[in-house]
Structure 1
């Protein structure tokens, strides 16, 4: 048993927690000291900057792949620059959260940050495509840690009155990164060199991690969480989770790049491995829970999977990640090809989605500050996303941008802002102190998983339409984005425009269907008798204090 002083975050000075119950109301009489607001916001700058950089690198290369592929004379393989980062970023979210339970939140965040920065700079100095892909894979592991740990720490250190705000801030950062990534990548590539896409992380990251290090609070401002040991880590379950996540995305990405692969081993084999790995992971988690629950922390704790509300929100997050990330990637590309806009304009036209996302997060915090309206909030969010996607499928192939498209984006952004806020809130209040890190990590991982599947599915759909209309699954061979059709005939140009327009509309139809399924999943969060969020937070704190006292008693007994 680890000593009580060895905690994942630090000690806690609160001595007494009592629960007074009257008409279903609860009162917390003493808690840990609250972090001063100034120090919290400074710490948040360090955390949110790391979160932003990790998210930016999922999409910043999107508008630069043609330039990178041309320099290395490897256009057919250049998509691996994006895919390598995405797969490791996706696969390691829960594992990195678990590692933070072992070495501590601060140490883990700094370690993953350093890994991210070193390999970002290495990407900029790559002399071959193989070197670049390898560095991007390791960079993705670092980015995964920044992503999941930042969300965990923000909710753990935030003063209680700001808990309802934190989820909204995270949603806004995710949206900003999604919009800014392709724009920043295109701008840097156009006016400097593609290598600055990776080098820019260096100076920004050094400042960010320095702020984080010097504003990290003392132990009395942190929740009392027992630090785990390496022998408690579920190594086999973590490997299964990584394989399951990556192998489901990989075949769809390949199918989008190379046509006529749907019935071949390159598609079927990894997909089968992914599906089998998911079933094996669930079986293994049940086995760990039954046989070794006191000695090992399962990669996916069964305690979380027994919580109906948490599982419903988890699945809803998975399904909403699909349409949101697909829109973020596909809509700017449609603007460039169908409407003749540049990458910068394409990013700017996503701003209505960013603004409505901020509004959604603000409304969520206000609605749930005193009453538990998780079901109603998530229902509105999911319907809004599904409706927005359905309306987007009605866009025509006209050269001029239809103003209604920007209005449809408002629906998607509004729903997304609410959904991310609710997911962060539920992961916090529906998990015990021991499961807080994996609860947030799983939410983060399924969000990326859904988005990755959405992007891969969009690539596959686009490939089908290009094959039918143009006879090529490689659009760059016909219409390089930066040439605006200069290298193709007028007929080819019009065929590619129509293919992109039709593929996008099909994407949106698929997204509307996925959104409809997500609406059904929201019903799992409904309950007649609901504790308010404040009551759930109080129960969580009491449970954490009891566990800490139990741990202390065991330490005292073993030391006698």
Structure 2
């Protein structure tokens, strides 16, 4: 333990409490804690619901607008904007406050959701989904930041399980609801559904938001400390690399085409510039600018392993929830309703895996075991899914294979949320959660883009001699004869098998990252919380000393009796 941490521990365990010592825990009244928690969970639910709810409606939407060629952009627009703005929202909340940033995120999400239902073309819908994704990124990332700030220390061990359960359930429930709504009503209602739930959520949030004396609100940073350059580079790097794979599939030999090389190279340069810029900030300007990726996070092996695992596991997760419904509808000829219901095993197993991960790590940090087992199950599940039959009849094994994928992803998503809370210092909690959220969506965006690229390559290879260019662009099965329809279904089946094989390889790589999170003697959550408080206390004391221009230890004020309600030490700064 460093000298400053020893000072912090001294003040935590027996030193003065108050202006010179660590902040005391202010327990939020249950009358506000419960509705505020429900409101944040609803926002979290809507954010992930809309990342997947369109998957079973894409074919119907494409038919309504007369083309299936660009329908994946309806999904990708949301995930890319969600990806690009997650860390930005957490940084803005440090400047403008959690409440104000959350309201902005809700307004963007709510208004765009209404607008999506009134879209008159695919391009309009894609634009509105982009705005919706920006708002959704704030609903998710800010909820993950606020959970540990409003929950008492004794309940924080369940945050990962609750958040993981909501994320896993909503992500898989989306395609099911999308199929039901599209079958019995109109696809427009998959967006308008957000209106009543959103009104309930924001009303509860505003009414339950604590007053200044009911919650220790984090210290705000200055606007000039916002890492604008880093945010721009991050968005550009993410969007350009994903765009390269999304659009390149329209060419048979796309690896050498300009539409693939130009955005990929530019995106790679942006990634390198981002890394260089963040290093410069961390070394020379950390006191002036709050970096998107603090060096204090990059030195934490276990957290980095969890973040990298989130990137890799996001790929097969989004591949499965978008490609299984397409396979059931196009290859097997089922309705959107049956395609949605076909993901029920994935829904139940994902929720189960999330709750299991939270329960296993409720007292001690056993994230190594849950993440390793989860990665292994995900690898097994995607590998088995890649063997699904390409016949017109549904292969019943697909439902059993979904269970392995769901359990694996549920374990991984909950574990990564837990790691962001317990492996990082208090001052980095907001950024750490935002990075994990962004990492998972980055992997998912690559999954959707790769699915599109592989499908288009196989279409060009297998269908160019069967369909005319206009038929290949539209891919309207109702206008094709029996032989042409069969060829289209076989192409989709082959693309499904190919992308699942790639997912299997990447899931296998996630096992390596999971192994990197090994701890010989994992600490209890109570001990880790004490360490976080000690480190934060030492940091605050050091800041006060620098402000006073002295290195002398702070004076000990007279001891005062404290009530039982305020005697606990908070880990909220």
TM-score when normalising by structure 1: 0.88
Which residue of the other structure, out of 202, 205, 210, is the alignment partner of 1:212? 205
Q: Is the 1:168–1:417 contact (alpha carbons within 8 Å) kept by the matching residues of 2?
A: no
Secondary structure class of the residue paired with 2:233: helix
Cα gap change, 1:223/1:474 in structure 2, threshold over 3 Å: closer, same or farther? farther
- With 58-67 and 276-285 compared, the bigger mean Cα shift is at 58-67
Question: Any gaps of 5 or more consecutive residues in structure 2?
Answer: 1-9, 16-20, 551-573
Alignment partner of 1:226: what SS?
coil
Determine whether 1:505 maps to 2:497: yes
Moved more, 435-444 or 61-70: 61-70
Contact 1:478 1:492 in 2 (8 A): no
Shift, 1:205, TM fit: 1.1
2:110 and 2:195 in contact (8 A); partners too? yes
Say which is worse superposed, 516-525 or 363-372, in terms of deviation: 363-372
The alpha carbon displacement at 1:473 in A equals 9.8
User: Which region of structure 1 is more displaced relative to structure 2, 240-249 or 37-46?
Assistant: 37-46
Tell which deviates more after alignment, 120-129 or 198-207.
120-129
Structure 1 residues 345 and 73: alpha-carbon distance in aligned structure 2, compared to 1, 3 A threshold: closer
Counterpart of 1:335 in structure 2 is 328
Aligned mates of 1:464, 1:525 — CA distance in 2: 38
Structure 1: where are the runs of 5+ without partners?
1-14, 21-27
CA contact (8 A) 2:363 2:526 kept: yes
CA distance in 2, matches of 1:416, 1:36: 34
CA change 1:199–1:556 in 2 (3 A) is farther
**Aligned residue for 1:527?**
519
CA shift, 1:455, in A, is: 1.3
Over residues 221-265 of structure 1, what are the superposed CA-to-partner deviations in whole Å (9 max), with x where a residue is unaligned? 545522111111111111111111111211111123555433211
Cα distance between partner residues in 1 of 2:13 and 2:472 = 70
Q: Describe the superposition over 1:385-419 as per-residue Cα deviations: whole angstroms up to 9, x where unpaired.
A: 11111111222123333332222111111111111
SS of the residue corresponding to residue 17 of structure 1 reads helix
| Residue among 13, 26, 34 paired with 1:18 | 13
Q: How far apart are residue 79 of structure 1 and its match?
A: 4.3
The two structures have a TM-score, normalised by structure 2, of 0.86
Quote how far apart the aligned CAs of 1:522 are.
1.6
TM-fit CA distance, 1:34: 3.2
Change (3 A) 1:256 1:170: farther
For residues 414-461 of structure 1, the C-alpha deviation after alignment (integer angstroms, 9 at most, x for no partner) is 111111111111111122222111100000001000011011111111
Q: 1:377 to 1:188 in 2, by over 3 A?
A: closer
Q: Give yes or no for the alignment of 1:445 onto 2:446.
A: no
Give the 5 Å matches for 1:31-70: 31-37=24-30, 39-65=32-58, 67-69=60-62
SS of alignment partner, residue 520 of structure 2: coil
Aligned pair count reads 535
Structure 2: how far apart are the matches of 1:79 and 1:502? 18
* Partner secondary structure for residue 228 of structure 1: coil
* Aligned partners of 2:33 and 2:151 also within 8 Å: yes
Match of 2:419, SS state, is helix
Alpha-carbon offset, residue 60 of structure 1: 3.0
Other-structure match for 1:317:
310
Change over 3 Å in CA distance of 1:382–1:128 after alignment to 2: closer
Partner of 2:397: 404
* Equivalent residue number for residue 23 of structure 1: none
Alignment-derived partner of residue 79 in structure 2: 86
Q: Distance in 2 between matches of 1:56 and 1:257?
A: 29
Residue 377 in 1 paired to residue 370 in 2?
A: yes
Partner of 1:285: 278
Between the aligned partners of 1:159 and 1:222, the Cα distance in structure 2 is: 11
Gap change, CA 1:279 and 1:465, over 3 Å in 2: same
Measured after TM superposition, the shift of residue 309 of structure 1 is 0.8
Local SS of the residue matching 1:434: helix
Q: Are 1:182 and 2:202 counterparts? A: no
**Equivalent position of 2:163 in the other structure:** 170
